[in-house]
Structure 1
Amino acid sequence: MRQTLTLPKLGLTMTEGIVSEWLKQPGDAFAAGDLLYVVENDKVANEIGAEAAGTLLEVVVPAGGTAPVGAVIGYWDDGRDGQAEGGPQEDIASEGAPSAAAAGVGAVETAASSPPETAPAGADTGQGPGGMARDEGRRRVATPYARRLAHSRGIALEDLTGSGPGGRIKAADVEAYQGGHAGAAPAAVAAAGPVQRAAEAPVPVSLLPGQTLTAPSGMQATIARRLTASKQEIPHFYLALDIDVTRLVALRKEINRAQDDYRLTLNHFIVMAVARALGRMPEANRVWTDSGILSFSQIDVGVAVSTSDGLLAPAVCDVGNVSMSTLATRLNGVVERARAGRMNHADLGSPAITVSNAGMHHVHFMGSIINPGQAMILGVGSVKGVFRPDGEGRPELRQEMGVVLSADHRIIDGVRGLKFLNIVRELLEQPVQLLVH
């Protein structure tokens, strides 16, 4: 019986996605659990698998095409006789993990079995996991399935030529290389249709000698579009202050010297302080939506992570009342998965705020753009030594860190923003509080 494949909803604010790769072609049979296609949104690439056996009949949205959530992207046959399915599924707008109805055959997200290609950073500067960019070497851009396929066949990504958007390596490129070809076939051109996003007429660019023009990848284009919309639609305002982290720097070093089970960075303490501040101010743990103000009972904190695909913002979930060791383990894990291209739906969470740490880049202050679907972002600068007068007016060397809170004035007004930021400051200046839960 003919069934539809519809684009699943993979995040709270997701309205559309890019079908970046089809892992099965029309006529291919598949078993339950087999991977069918890859969907990208602005945060993650998801490998979508089948919950039931069948045969792929037709691809409606080709690789590289964009479709809204719930749109039909293909058809499959379940092998049973009966009336063909017609019309969209009823529960495609579910906010939770995609069900069989929401994704047609199903939306089983699979984590890559290959080892991570980049470990989370934790150098002695203390900025650590989630810091916006430690340059750990450029990874080739590849879909999670292509990365795992190449690893299983002993093929280095550096030897491959990507045929996807922006040179992204697809599974077909791995197959072509193994078959002795120098490169894969050109990426399919998205056919025009009702599910395709209407393209604005591009402005012609006259190139001068030495200039090149490169098309952005699908994910880069999506991030650019959504952050532009965020800056234009969200009424940002900014609050900046210096935090005295002299005690925090000393405490971190003391803890790391005393045990070898896990290594703490400043970012672990910063994320913990933000989580505790949300616990003290539940009115800050909410976001603005077109339907009203959405409040969260669980405390999730987003973390900006630099990858070869650009900045991603996974979430450290349910950290409102956990130990520092638990938070460190969860934060290290989500950063590792983001950098290795193995993020899953659970890593998106529902954060009202993201921590964006640029401290390792010697910047004092950083005003950041609020991620779509959130209410705040905390930009973190470098730790710097400054002389401040002590109680008797004598100069004393202190360690200070500049932070900037960008907030959505529809949710957090100036008074509440100041209160929230000063709770974070208090917790970081008296860091022993963060070790008690």
Structure 2
Amino acid sequence: MLEVKLHDIGEGMTEGEILHYLVKPGDRVTADQPLVEVQTDKMVAELPSPGAGTVKEIVIDTGTTVQVGTTLLYIEGEGSPTAAEVKTAPKTEVPAAKKEEKKAFISSFNRVLATPYTRKIARDNNINIEDVTPSDPSGRVTEEDVYRFLKGEQQPQKETAPTAEASFSRQKTTPDEIPFRGMRKQIAKKMTKSLFTIPHVTHFDEVNMTNLLKLRGELKAAGVSVSVPAFFVKALVIALKDFPVFNAELDEENEKILLKKEYHIGMAVDTEDGLIVPVVHDADKKSIKTIHDDIKQLNEKAREGKLKPADIQNSTFTVSNVGPLGSIGATPIINYPETALIAFHKTKKVPLVNEHDEIVIGHMMTLSMSFDHRVADGATAVAFTNRFASLIEQPNKLMLEMI
């Protein structure tokens, strides 16, 4: 008998919420076949089958948050003992009242089985995914089902008379209620841990973007498209090498500050499901153009729900580029257990005085950098952002540093 347990599918993961099962008891499954979708603090992930066999029992209800190591279901493989012959681990009994409460809560949303990417396709085409008839025996709506519906190859599901339970659930759900669960709940837990563990200090500064935007315009005219965040990442890596304390992690138990030798830059992305931080790995070994391509690909995967665990692991420093949203300042919360996080805000045209005491129009951007005051001091943070600003304000100097 194979036990399918919730394992660590993300960096530092301790628990996950069971969104829904892709199989039911009696289904035959093959090795690596997706069995269940789990919501972690950063993403929705599918747990694969450890081997071939028949699903014998599903132990944990959907909507339940469980710890890593919890058995979710059992699969009986060929030649393996039957369920009656297996001594199962003791299970924590959920009170009947809680079970009923959970059922009512879930039914109020009439959740359709579908991946985040499939749901996005439906939303982008103004399709109510509940109207799509699933072709999969498990009841899961696939991308193909949505496209068939879009082409008019299937009719919307007929509405049935609402049951007493469904009517009650709709009465309980009001427009001014938002479920505090899934990714939103996981983000809240991580932010709370960071804020109550790390003594945050936020340093604010300004960066003259005029020369960088001019260079970017020249490159674009020459047929080379490179985003501003790609330049930011490269400049940050150079600055982090000069100030390694910000590319570090505090090990309180062993009383050490661990200086990381890798430069994995997390890029916060705002999605419909919440904030996700995909990672540009080994940014110190990549060109600005390659970093641009990585950021673009990771952003697309994040918004389509296609990120894999490897895409969000092992970040050493995090960037939040909120300027395009109109932000002019913030006090960002550090991506625990990192030491610092930098946020880039709105770039505005402003009058500046040049070296000849002439007033010219330039482009100024504000930034805010939160850091762990146990690990670094304000003077070091100022020196770090000064180093970063010097590379951005003189992009030719940035190019020389890369040689």
CA distance in 1, matches of 2:292, 2:141: 36
Correspondence 1:54 to 2:43: no
1:159 aligned to which of 108, 119, 128: 128
CA distance in 2, matches of 1:84, 1:211: 47
Contact 1:305 1:313 in 2 (8 A): yes
CA distance in 2, matches of 1:227, 1:371: 8
Letter aligned with residue 127 of structure 2: E
Contact 1:243 1:403 in 2 (8 A): yes
CA distance in 2, matches of 1:276, 1:85: 56
Q: Deviations over 1:330-372 (max 9, x none)?
A: 1111111001110001111312321111112333222211123
Query: Shift of the alpha carbon at 1:295?
Result: 4.0
Contact 2:116 2:304 in 1 (8 A): no
2:381 aligned to which of 398, 417, 433: 417
Normalised to the residue count of structure 1, the TM-score between the two structures is 0.72
- Taking the TM superposition and a 5 Å limit, the aligned residue runs for 1:274-423 are 274-289=236-251, 291-292=253-254, 293-423=257-387
Letter aligned with residue 266 of structure 1: V
Q: Deviations over 1:262-304 (max 9, x none)?
A: x212111112222222233333212235645444322111111
Q: Residues 28 and 211 from structure 1, CA distance in 2 versus in 1: closer, same or farther, beyond 3 angstroms?
A: closer
- Taking the TM superposition and a 5 Å limit, the aligned residue runs for 1:48-127 are 48-81=47-80, 84=86
CA distance in 1, matches of 2:176, 2:270: 24
CA distance in 2, matches of 1:18, 1:306: 21
CA distance in 2, matches of 1:359, 1:335: 16
Q: Residues 36 and 421 from structure 1, CA distance in 2 versus in 1: closer, same or farther, beyond 3 angstroms?
A: same
Residue 41 of structure 2 corresponds to which residue in structure 1?
42
Residue 233 of structure 2 corresponds to which residue in structure 1?
271
Residue 108 of structure 1 corresponds to which residue in structure 2?
none
Contact 1:19 1:38 in 2 (8 A): yes
Q: Deviations over 1:240-262 (max 9, x none)?
A: 111111111101111111124xx
Gaps of 5+ in 1: 89-140, 163-170, 187-206
CA distance in 2, matches of 1:85, 1:410: 49
Residue 431 of structure 1 corresponds to which residue in structure 2?
395
Query: Shift of the alpha carbon at 1:373?
Result: 2.6
Contact 2:114 2:141 in 1 (8 A): no
Query: Shift of the alpha carbon at 1:235?
Result: 0.7
Letter aligned with residue 427 of structure 1: L
Of Structure 1 and Structure 2, which has the larger fraction of its residues in helix? Answer: 2
Task: Say which SS state the counterpart of residue 283 (structure 2) adopts.
Answer: coil
Letter aligned with residue 403 of structure 1: L
Contact 2:4 2:49 in 1 (8 A): no
CA distance in 1, matches of 2:241, 2:204: 21
Contact 1:147 1:157 in 2 (8 A): no
Q: Deviations over 1:388-415 (max 9, x none)?
A: 2222322222211100001112233323
Letter aligned with residue 182 of structure 2: G
Query: Shift of the alpha carbon at 1:239?
Result: 0.7
Correspondence 1:174 to 2:141: yes
Q: Residues 76 and 156 from structure 1, CA distance in 2 versus in 1: closer, same or farther, beyond 3 angstroms?
A: farther
Normalised to the residue count of structure 2, the TM-score between the two structures is 0.77
Query: Shift of the alpha carbon at 1:50?
Result: 2.1
- Taking the TM superposition and a 5 Å limit, the aligned residue runs for 1:188-203 are none
CA distance in 2, matches of 1:324, 1:147: 29
The alignment-based identity, stated in percent, is 27
CA distance in 1, matches of 2:396, 2:284: 16
CA distance in 2, matches of 1:214, 1:309: 13
Q: Deviations over 1:107-150 (max 9, x none)?
A: xxxxxxxxxxxxxxxxxxxxxxxxxxxxxxxxxx9876364499
Letter aligned with residue 59 of structure 1: I
Query: Shift of the alpha carbon at 1:6?
Result: 1.2
Residue 12 of structure 1 corresponds to which residue in structure 2?
11
CA distance in 1, matches of 2:73, 2:319: 38
Letter aligned with residue 281 of structure 1: F
Letter aligned with residue 23 of structure 1: L
Contact 2:206 2:365 in 1 (8 A): yes
Residue 135 of structure 2 corresponds to which residue in structure 1?
none
2:218 aligned to which of 246, 254, 260: 254
CA distance in 2, matches of 1:291, 1:309: 35
Residue 133 of structure 1 corresponds to which residue in structure 2?
none
CA distance in 1, matches of 2:77, 2:126: 36
Task: Say which SS state the counterpart of residue 75 (structure 1) adopts.
Answer: strand
Q: Residues 43 and 290 from structure 1, CA distance in 2 versus in 1: closer, same or farther, beyond 3 angstroms?
A: farther
CA distance in 2, matches of 1:351, 1:146: 24
CA distance in 2, matches of 1:288, 1:86: 40
Aligned positions, number: 350
Which one has a bigger Cα radius of gyration? 2
The alignment yields a C-alpha RMSD, in angstroms, of 3.3
Query: Shift of the alpha carbon at 1:233?
Result: 2.2
Residue 97 of structure 2 corresponds to which residue in structure 1?
none
CA distance in 1, matches of 2:234, 2:159: 49
